[in-house]
Structure 1
Amino acid sequence: MPYKKTEQKFNGKIGVCEIGAGDAAISIGGEKTLPFLGGEGFKTAVGIAITDSPEDWEGCFAAVYGDDMKDPAAFAKAAVEKSGADFVLVKLASADPNGADNSVENCVATAAAVEAAVNVPVVIEGCKNAEKDAKLLEAVAKTLEGKNVVLFSAVEDNYKTIGAAGGMAYGQKVSAESAVDINLAKQLNILLTQLGVKPQDIVMDVGSAAAGYGFEYVASTMDRIRLAGLGQNDDSLQMPIMTDVSNDSWGVKEAVFTEAEAPEWGSQENRGIGMEIATASACVIGGSNAIIVRHPESAKTIKSMVAGLLG
């Protein structure tokens, strides 16, 4: 008996968000059904992460990038070239007041240099300090006006500043960060839209975890968000999802333990790549419209997987 594909129909549709400007612009979202089950061709954009504090990264990345890691602009350009990524995320970790406490001005200059160095859309991440990020991402939004970057990410403690600057005053995109909780995700989207940010200027950062480390919560949250947006036509949960799996994947023991510490586990680099691919692929299947990884080989593999699933 021949196989007949049955496509489930939903009333809702995931919104479309365009990031980047000019020829470099890409769109994420727009699907009308669950990932890879519909005829419209769900596709995940794949991003590559870089940082202005590479000393915290595993030693294998020095072998991949060499001296380019010392200059964020060169680092970003090399990362895109080596990975074929659709966009790049720059982590301004040096801004952390509990770390290097780099100035807003210096970090904004780094963001501008990265944006000028690559021909793909740019996502700008702060240092995960809500107060510093509010000042930093507002300044980034102003400096990069017209570039349609994603400010990654606004949280409950700073969404007013980032939302007003990013999605309204300077025409950037705003990522709404919630900690693997559908109710928090919905609440923050509502707060941003009530502030005046347009739904098409919002992406959701619903959180992640490394595969095998509580990832079932991530999977169930993504499923519930997508089913609410599609099946219940809940417009507060119809924004595209952007997920950075790089920190979680490269932060667990399988990726952190060196070959001297765990010789029986083999290559540390291969372990980290494997963890990242496993985590990223699970998020893609769960409905992430844009996935961010750290290693170029991870990006290549996920891009290949998405192309294969699309046939």
Structure 2
Amino acid sequence: MFKKSVQKFPGKICEVELGTGEKAIKLGGAQVLPFCSFDGDTGNTPKVGMEIQDIYPEDWIDTLKELYKDVASDPAAWAKFIEDKYAPDFICLRLVGADPNGLDKPVDECAKIAKAVADAITLPLVVAGTGNHEKDGKLFEAVAKELEGKNILLMSAVEDNYKAVAAAGVLAYKHKIGAESSVDINLAKQLNILLSQLGIQNESIVMNVGSAAAGYGYEYVISTMDRIRLAALGQNDKTLQMPIITPVSFETYKIKETVSTESDVPEWGNQEDRAISMEVSTASGVLVSGSDAVILRHPTSVKIIKNLINELSA
């Protein structure tokens, strides 16, 4: 009789809880590679979030702007609309308006917008910054204070601002922190160690190890995630045993295949279909490589990826 071998690992991904109440979610918990339930405990099912912004999304594709035309100028109404209509696992508020190279909105104003969004929904909230490390450090401090008690994820802290973000976000106001690195296992590990030296526990850290749209250096993203998971599980490396979140939509809506209109490149076909295909392709790849949560933009992408997760988890 054939006896199937089972791959056991000494390590385990820690659990991180986001949000409060009945809609709170847990990331991580796996003791085996993604979706390999035949080997052991796969932990919490990967979660799917949806992106909104604090300002009207002028640069989004027309079909998405049309979908959200009645709510996109009011982030709190937008968040509530998404929660009620599409039921993602969490919502990601991206504070684009704070960007010093854009509107450069004051951090206090942005923090109040984040508070309004958090108060309008029951889902967990992830708050993403501008990518300007100096501004984000101040921004996350203000947001952490304003949303005390909401148990949000501040995404993300980097080596340039992690002390300020961690001190306010985790130590002072008891939120969770995203540790962002640039698709490199050593950089991910280094930032986690720095956070732990501040007294931050693994259960308060979610890694954002970087991403890319499928076809754009994507194989490097996948191999990095594979290495992180194998080190965490196989080598029991506690400095890498945190869940991973991947902001897929941040990357897939920047590339020519998604932003080019049908009039620009008619031979490429429908723009909305291209956008969904790119988002789904990217998300599915990072999920099977170790991501515990993905952030998407299009409702159809959310539906497809949730179905994929359910099928693979069955």
Q: Give the whole-Å Cα distance in 1 for the aligned partners of 2:308 and 2:54.
A: 29
**Partner Cα distance (2:262, 2:76) in 1:** 31
Counterpart pick for 2:97 among 86, 94, 99 = 94
Alignment of 1:274-293 (within 5 A): 274-293=277-296
Tell me how far 1:239 sits from its aligned partner: 0.4
Alignment correspondent of 2:306: 303
Matched, 1:52 2:54: yes
| Alignment partner, residue 250 of structure 1 | 253
Q: Which amino acid aligns with 1:40?
A: D
Q: Which residue in 2 is equivalent to 1:110? A: 113
Aligned match of 1:190: 193
The percentage of aligned residue pairs carrying the same residue is 55
Task: Compute the displacement of 1:5 (Å).
Answer: 4.8
Where structure 2 has 5 or more consecutive residues not aligned to the other structure, the ranges are none
2:95 aligned with 1:69: no
Comparing 74-83 and 204-213, the one that deviates more: 74-83
Instruction: After TM superposition, give the deviation of residue 40 of structure 1 in Å.
Output: 2.3
Please give the per-residue CA displacement for 1:26-67, whole angstroms capped at 9, x wherever unaligned. 101000000011342452111101112311211111221122
Q: 1:110 to 1:231 in 2, by over 3 A?
A: same
Alignment of structure 1 residues 1-311 onto 2, 5 Å: 5-38=4-37, 39-42=40-43, 43-53=45-55, 54-311=57-314
- Hey, what's the Cα distance between the residues in 1 that align with 2:53 and 2:184? 27
Q: Contact between 1:19 and 1:150, CA under 8 Å: does it hold in 2? A: yes
Gaps of 5+ in 1: none
TM (normalized to structure 1)?
Answer: 0.97
For the 8 Å contact 1:50–1:79, the answer to whether it is kept is: no
Distance 1:202 1:309 in 2: 26
Q: Is the partner of 2:58 in helix, strand or coil?
A: helix
CA offset digits 1:129-154 (Å, max 9, x no partner): 11111111011111111110000000
User: In 2, Cα distance between the equivalents of 1:285 and 1:121?
Assistant: 23
**Residue deviations 1:69-124 (CA, integer Å, cap 9, x gap):** 11001111222333321000000011011110011111011100111111110000
Aligned partners of 2:61, 2:137: CA distance in 1, in Å?
29
Q: Output the TM-score relative to the length of structure 2.
A: 0.96
**What is the rounded CA distance, in whole Å, between the counterparts of 2:85 and 2:288 in structure 1?**
25
CA 1:83/1:6 → structure 2, altered by over 3 Å: closer, same or farther? Answer: farther
- Measured on the aligned residues, the alpha-carbon RMSD in Å equals 1.2
CA–CA distance in structure 2, aligned partners of residues 149 and 11 of structure 1: 30
